[in-house]
């Protein structure tokens, strides 16, 4: 094999090739930058939903809500996932990036697409929220931006497989991929399928916005859109779980007790998660009740089973590793002596806990046909998915950033004390945000609503006074989470710029 320039990471012993390193760096930088924008939007939107503040005007609320959804869910998460799939298909396997030009093309497409979307939203030409449900229509450039961004991400996922094929040829791994990379392979497979749905819906929407197509059926739009919108959450879950395994391996040397079981669980995601997209259509009249019940009361649990397996396998792998290090006394010494002051470890522990109890359980409950009707489009749903994509995925990715900074950016973290508390601060904030939203939603408070006091409406309506407490809980949680988010961005960029060099 060509004698490319590489170095051995002193922290992990991994072999890092220069060309992979640069590409990973820039994807992480873009991820952090878009998270910062998404977080600013989150603050403004949350302060508007908090009735005692009610910050923004009507138009700005919907505009910034659209930007928040796009920058946080689409841009931050996918840029970081590009960094992850590149890391797992090169650094983890000790090989270089094949066809690195294509990796840069993918990055450029995502950057241009993401910038285009943001500009069009801020110009007020796409107040359609990130779902852009037909018949809401945005400027054609908005759909074009989404298409460019998605094509870029699709190329990135494909490059994962290209790298893996070459790594196999060059002996980067023997029979089967290491578990972390295996999880990201599952993520990439789902990624390719998902982005195909994305093309299936955004290309027609683009043509429709240009008046080449006269009409888009709203039900058909929702069906295909959620083939993209829900399945892409499963990319996030796979990537998050892969990060759980990799962090447990890097920080405490954790190895799953039964690796085959963990691998099988990833395969369950690939096979069954697309079915769960249907929980977004449960109040639509298109599908029959029988169909909905069979899907959401039976089939969906095959994917949930996978998460349950990981939720037991990872803490168990950590326990076994720590016991091997000598923390054997009693049932819980290993738990007490776990590296809680290591922000990467703390983030993963918090991510597992909150993803399971806030995001996962509520997802299973709200996703059943029978219960969905009373939670659909309430603030409870927003509470649910801040439990998954924020408390779960975002916190896990934040934790992994703390590992990438020494390993890929070759810098030590600045502000170590703040870095230690950052995951806790963010997690407490997001937990309050999510529980506040879910509780308010239980009293019928709607999501995506500018003014729940309905001032000036022809009919008067007041919610149960209990919601005041829950909306304040959401507001205070938002402030804490934003503080944790700002800290993360400062530590992240600060370390890249001013951190002491790692030799
Ligand atoms: C500081 C952290 C965050 C806070 C305080 C926050 C707060 C909020 C609030 C208040 C809403 C508005 C809900 C409504 O009015 O219906 C919202 C919506 C949303 N958030 Fe966040 N959020 C945060 C982080 C994130 C992150 C990291 C993600 C993605 C990974 C995310 C994804 C979303 C999505 C997809 C929506 C729905 C937008 C829509 O309905 O179109 N949020 N968030
Ligand atoms: Cu879903």
Is the pLDDT score of 353 beyond 80?
yes
Protein residue with its CA nearest to atom 38 in ligand 1: 69
Is the pLDDT score of 94 beyond 50?
yes
| Ligand 2 center from residue 155 Cα (angstroms) | 24
- Tell whether 302 is covered by a domain: no
Residues 133, 43: Cα–Cα separation, whole Å: 24
pLDDT band of residue 4 (cuts 50, 70, 90) is: low
Residues 257, 317: Cα–Cα separation, whole Å: 6
- Tell whether 257 is covered by a domain: no
- Tell whether 295 is covered by a domain: no
| Ligand 2 center from residue 276 Cα (angstroms) | 7
**Residues contacting 169, CB < 8 A, separation 6+:** none
pLDDT band of residue 87 (cuts 50, 70, 90) is: very high
How confident is the model over 436-488, as pLDDT tens digits?
Answer: 999 999 999 999 999 999 988 999 999 999 999 999 999 999 999 999 999 99
Percent residues over pLDDT 70 in the chain:
99
pLDDT attached to residue 186 = 96
**Residues contacting 243, CB < 8 A, separation 6+:** 84, 180, 348, 396, 397, 399, 400
- Tell whether 407 is covered by a domain: no
Q: Measured from the CB, is residue 31 less than 6 Å from ligand 1?
A: no
Residues 364, 353: Cα–Cα separation, whole Å: 16
- Tell whether 362 is covered by a domain: no
Q: Measured from the CB, is residue 130 less than 6 Å from ligand 1?
A: yes
Residues 200, 261: Cα–Cα separation, whole Å: 34
| Ligand 2 center from residue 376 Cα (angstroms) | 12
Is the pLDDT score of 287 beyond 90?
no
Strands 6-8 and 15-17, how do they pair? antiparallel
Q: Measured from the CB, is residue 390 less than 6 Å from ligand 1?
A: yes
pLDDT attached to residue 300 = 82
pLDDT attached to residue 55 = 96
Assess contact for 167 and 161: CB atoms under 8 A: no
Residues 486, 420: Cα–Cα separation, whole Å: 14
In angstroms, what CA-CA distances link 323 with 331, 336, 348?
A: 10, 11, 19
- Tell whether 80 is covered by a domain: yes
pLDDT attached to residue 244 = 96
**Residues contacting 273, CB < 8 A, separation 6+:** 190, 230, 231, 234, 237, 303
- Tell whether 445 is covered by a domain: no
How confident is the model over 359-383, as pLDDT tens digits?
Answer: 999 998 998 888 999 999 999 999 9
378: which strand partners?
446
3-state DSSP assignment of residue 429: helix
| 300 against 77, higher pLDDT | 77
pLDDT band of residue 3 (cuts 50, 70, 90) is: low
Phi (first) and psi of residue 7, to 5 degrees? -140, 165
Please confirm whether the linkage preceding 380 is cis (ω < 30° from 0). no
Provide the token pair at 339. 């590296």
- Tell whether 443 is covered by a domain: no
Q: Measured from the CB, is residue 386 less than 6 Å from ligand 1?
A: yes
**Domain count along the chain:** 1
Residues 412, 160: Cα–Cα separation, whole Å: 28
Q: Which of 10-14, 198-202, 241-245: highest mean pLDDT? A: 241-245
Q: Nearest to residue 209, comparing CAs of 153, 156, 141, 259?
A: 141
Residues 34, 320: Cα–Cα separation, whole Å: 38
The full length of the chain comes to 503
Nearest atom (ligand 1) to Cα of 77: 30
In our burial notation (b when 16+ CB lie closer than 10 A, e otherwise), range 291-306 reads: ebeebbeeebeebbeb
Range of the domain at 136: 1-174
Q: Which of 4-8, 48-52, 381-385 has the lowest mean pLDDT?
A: 4-8
Q: Which of 69, 378, 384, 487 to mutate to test the pocket of ligand 1 (most atoms within 8 A of CB)?
A: 69
Q: What is the mean pLDDT of the chain?
A: 94
Protein residue with its CA nearest to atom 15 in ligand 1: 448
- 49: exposed, middle or buried (Cβ count in 10 Å: 0-12, 13-18, 19+): buried
**Residues contacting 219, CB < 8 A, separation 6+:** 284, 286
Is the pLDDT score of 34 beyond 50?
yes
3-state DSSP assignment of residue 7: strand
Q: Measured from the CB, is residue 65 less than 6 Å from ligand 1?
A: yes
Is the pLDDT score of 421 beyond 70?
yes
Phi (first) and psi of residue 128, to 5 degrees? -115, 5
Assess contact for 170 and 106: CB atoms under 8 A: no
pLDDT attached to residue 86 = 98
3-state DSSP assignment of residue 15: strand
Q: Measured from the CB, is residue 436 less than 6 Å from ligand 1?
A: no
CA torsion 422-424-430-435 (nearest 10°) is: -170
pLDDT attached to residue 1 = 45
């Amino acid at each position: 094999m060509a004698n490319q320039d590489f170095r051995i990471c002193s922290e992990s012993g991994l072999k890092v090739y220069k060309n992979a390193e640069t590409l990973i760096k820039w994807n992480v930088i873009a991820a952090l930058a878009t998270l910062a924008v998404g977080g600013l939007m989150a603050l403004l939107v949350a302060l508007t939903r908090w009735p005692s503040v009610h910050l923004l005007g009507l138009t700005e609320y919907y505009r910034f809500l659209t930007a928040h959804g796009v920058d946080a869910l689409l841009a931050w998460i996918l840029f970081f996932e590009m960094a992850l799939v590149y890391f797992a298909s090169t650094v983890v396997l000790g090989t270089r990036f094949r066809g690195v030009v294509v990796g840069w093309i993918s990055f450029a497409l995502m950057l241009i697409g993401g910038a285009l979307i943001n500009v069009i939203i801020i110009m007020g030409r796409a107040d359609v929220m990130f779902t852009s449900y037909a018949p809401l229509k945005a400027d054609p450039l908005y759909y074009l931006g989404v298409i460019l961004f998605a094509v870029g991400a699709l190329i990135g996922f494909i490059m994962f497989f290209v790298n893996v094929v070459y790594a196999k040829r060059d002996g980067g791994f023997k029979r089967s991929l290491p578990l972390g990379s295996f999880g990201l392979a599952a993520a990439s497979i789902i990624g390719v399928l998902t982005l195909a749905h994305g093309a299936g819906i955004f290309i027609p929407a683009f043509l429709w916005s240009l008046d080449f197509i006269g009409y888009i059926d709203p039900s058909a739009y929702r069906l295909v859109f959620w083939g993209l919108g829900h399945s892409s959450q499963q990319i996030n879950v796979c990537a998050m779980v892969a990060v759980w395994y990799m962090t447990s391996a890097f920080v405490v040397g954790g190895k799953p007790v039964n690796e085959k079981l963990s691998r099988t669980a990833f395969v369950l995601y690939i096979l069954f998660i697309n079915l769960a997209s249907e929980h977004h259509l449960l109040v639509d009249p298109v599908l029959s009740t029988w169909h909905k019940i069979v899907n959401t009361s039976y089939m969906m649990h095959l994917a949930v089973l996978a998460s349950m397996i990981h939720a037991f396998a990872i803490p168990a792998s950590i326990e076994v590793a720590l016991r091997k290090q000598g923390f054997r006394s009693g049932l819980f010494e290993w738990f007490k002596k776990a590296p809680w002051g290591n922000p990467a470890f703390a983030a993963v522990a918090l991510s597992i806990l909150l993803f399971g109890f806030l995001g996962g359980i509520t997802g299973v409950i709200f996703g059943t046909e029978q219960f969905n009707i009373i939670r659909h489009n309430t603030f409870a749903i927003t509470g649910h998915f801040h439990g998954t994509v924020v408390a779960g995925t975002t916190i896990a990715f934040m934790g992994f950033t703390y590992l990438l900074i020494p390993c890929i950016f070759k810098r030590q973290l600045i502000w170590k004390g703040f870095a230690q508390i950052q995951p806790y601060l963010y997690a407490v904030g997001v937990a309050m945000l999510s529980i506040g939203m879910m509780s308010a939603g239980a009293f019928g408070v709607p999501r995506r609503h500018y003014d729940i006091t309905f001032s000036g409406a022809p009919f008067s309506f007041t919610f149960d006074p209990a919601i005041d407490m829950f909306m304040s809980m959401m507001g205070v949680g938002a402030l804490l989470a934003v503080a944790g988010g700002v800290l993360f961005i400062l530590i992240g960029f600060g370390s890249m710029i001013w951190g002491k060099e790692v030799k």
